[in-house]
Structure 1
Amino acid sequence: MSDAGAAQAVSETAQLVSADDYAKQIRDKIAVGRTVRCRRCYRKVHETDIGTVTKLDKDGLHDLNVQVHWHKAGGASWVRYVHVELLEDSGVRLGEQVRVRRSVVRPKYGWGSVNHDSVGKVTGLSSDGDVIVHFPEKRGWKALMSELEPATAERREEAVRKKIGVGDQVRVKRSVDEPRFKWGNVTHNSVGKVTGKD
């Protein structure tokens, strides 16, 4: 079952399970970067408010375990597992490789030296819901979560290919069993210099 399907299943069964069981389901599926909806009013947060999980404390089942940046309220607050339901997973999590979505013309905080082909690692989520990414071109780049998407292995390889230029030193990746143009006198330990590109 996909995370979105699991989130829907958790939401639909919320009324049928005990508070302990529901809290355990949420605790097992929640992660920093996930989008949640408030299920019941708590302090300044109202039912149906949407937010992004910015911190987790998985100790205890009914403590204030989840810090959420609430989009409508404009601030972060701690809530219990039973206060939230999981919405569709954005796929942007701490430690993940991401890129700017092709549909983004101008990111909220600007491009700087980053572009659509850049692939970077998510290193932080700020309390206001913004994402911090370390790109090779720019460390500490800031973006809205909605402006980013996971960088698939194919996109990461495409970015690497575009960065390889004439004069660069290269070698065959360890994951390659048989190169397209065969091995010849080359091994995984061989290092060569790019003399041209097709």
Structure 2
Amino acid sequence: SLEEDGDMGVAFCFRSKLFLCSVADIEKAQPFEVGEKVHVLPSISEPRLGWSNETAATIGAISRIDMDGTLNVKVSGRNSLWKVAPGDAERLSAFEVGDWVRLKPSIGSRPTYDWNSVGKISIAVVHSIQDSGYLELAGCFRKGKWLTHNTDIEKVQSFRIGLHVRFRAGISEPRWGWRDAKPDSRGIIAGVHADGEVRVAIFGVPGLWRGDPADLEIEQVFEVGDWVRLKNDADDWKSLKPGSIGVVHGIGYEDDAWDGTIHVAFCGEQERWIGFSSQLEGVSRFVVGQRVRIRGCIRQPRFGWSNHNHSSIGTISSIDADGKLRIHTPAGARAWLIDPAEVEKVVEEEEVCIGDWVKVKDSVVTPTYQWGDVNHNSIGVAHRAGDGELWVSFCFCERLWLCKGWEVEKVRPFRQGDRVRIRPGLVAPRWGWGMETYASKGEVIGVDANGKLRIKFRWRDRLWVGDPADVILDDTPSPTEASNGGFCS
């Protein structure tokens, strides 16, 4: 939690209560992430949370991170998770043999080891992993191999056989010359060496072209039948705008070479859109049988409501070639036509994870471990989980609230920037009205780990502290949204 006077409360896994301190007394640390491999620091003789039958040689992957920072580590061959304090853990190298890497842009003019002719854009391949975080790299731009520390480099997408490539924008000359290629030439990777050197079949150039991967960039190519969406920076075309969704129908050719364009059929347009793949991004395809509903930010669907509303859930019965969806609902005798950009898929209930915002299901009459100060309207944050049980942090409870995992359901979390207003019908906010009324509208400025909200209401200097159960999202469209034609991000 963060108070207005600059004090803050920090949750440590080895303390039952928050540690109160000043913002000036602490500094940020790099957070651990799920999936990272860790082990106990060599300097630690006795971990804060114990060894739990593990040893200093044990290596595991982080499976879950509790809200107090406890790392729940999955160790191969063990059924239970190993709990480790983050201060006792050390990350292992995230790199593997065969990874493609480059020097981090943030590194100064001279990294840990002298890269000699290695430039900021040069690409190398991890050849072997050494002790103490050092890696042996190989690159096509120099002979032999060299060492570097894993903190000096970052992963890049690997070049694989079959990928479409083009020359990097702004390149003056490839490492080994143009050799009949041109700056706008495109090709397909036909071979990759262990040091990253590639052989490219360039359209219009006889034989295979030898290249340095740093001189090339991978070009996204969509296949016929792929579903795509216009990126936010794409130009408007007829009725289309950023966010429009369509289906790829083909690619453009000039003579026998691909000219870099994609042909897409968009919903409601008789003419195909023709443009470059850089203006498109892939989206998951819709299939017959999926359940969908209109997105909450859509005011008026393109093809009308057909006696439905935002709560209507239907099943896709058929899909037109341009992506138009035909939906069957119990309330409608005819198929409901919908633009795919206006719907969202209705997914089955997902397992609650640490950090999810939750509330008790309406179907639960009495929780297994009783209500305490919690009720059906209360909103909290999942703090810890284990053996089918869940510990939830509520902003009005000093201790974590214990329940069974199946007794709660996910709700949308409040985020910084959300526009909110007081929940209609609320008798009294948990910490009082202050100067606010039902008509007050504001913006979420801060969100504590237990869900407590700090809201800046219009024409107020002080922040209003509130329980998330006391407010709702303000769905009144802003002038920007009102002029966006109905699409939302």
Normalization by structure 2: what TM-score? 0.23
Would you tell me which structure has more strand in proportion to its own residues? 2
Larger Rg: 2
Higher relative contact order (CA 8 A, sep 6+): 1
